[in-house]
Structure 1
Amino acid sequence: MKNKKVLSFLAASSIAITSVGYIGKTVPTTVQAAKKIKLISGTYKVGKNNKIKPGRYTIKAAKGSGNVISSRSINEIVGTKRNKSLGSVKKFHATLHNKEILRTNLQKLKLIKR
């Protein structure tokens, strides 16, 4: 097959494809690694100059279980293991806005920019 390109990644890698090429045509394609932010228990402010930038995230427990709340609309119980009786989840998706306050009491929390 002409113009065939193969990309290989480590099994633990996350990628986001920002454009797609068509077979037989040369189209620039950019592959970017997803931005991961690791947090510990505490309070964080979302902002352009802060650790957490505004945007859409997958939020998941990396260690322990507890609450994730924000000054806007987030109120989730999250843990590394799902617990139906507590209503906890392993991960959820949320949009974080500029100046939003995010609080967690999890030992470790991971935010993956989507």
Structure 2
Amino acid sequence: MSDLANQTCEACRADAPRLSDAEIAELRPEAPEWELLEVDGERRLRRVFKFKNFAQALAFTQRVGDLAEAADHHPALLTEWGKVTVDWWTHKIGGLHRNDFIMAAKTDQVYQ
């Protein structure tokens, strides 16, 4: 299990710096199944989680939603039959913050 999953998100200000390429490279091994991508000019972490049916996908979506509410850090969630796509990024800064890697690790933990 990732050490990040045991960490807590910090309150993020609009002027907080985005992660540098070096910081992202350092954190990537802690979220190995997450894809790094860019959407509308903003870097994000994305992972697609597979399930046997819609009910399991929906239950997972709810657990991730509860996790997000508790941390006051919210992802984009796409729930479909047999899969859930989760994108983490920090809206306030338009890119990636350490919080996104923490939440990715926590999401992995919920999936296990």
TM over 0.5: no
Task: Compare the two structures and name the one with the higher helix fraction.
Answer: 2
Greater Rg by CA: 1
Identify the structure with bigger relative contact order (alpha carbons < 8 Å, sequence gap 6+): 2
Task: Compare the two structures and name the one with the higher strand fraction.
Answer: 1
Give TM-score scaled by structure 1 length. Answer: 0.28
Give TM-score scaled by structure 2 length. Answer: 0.29
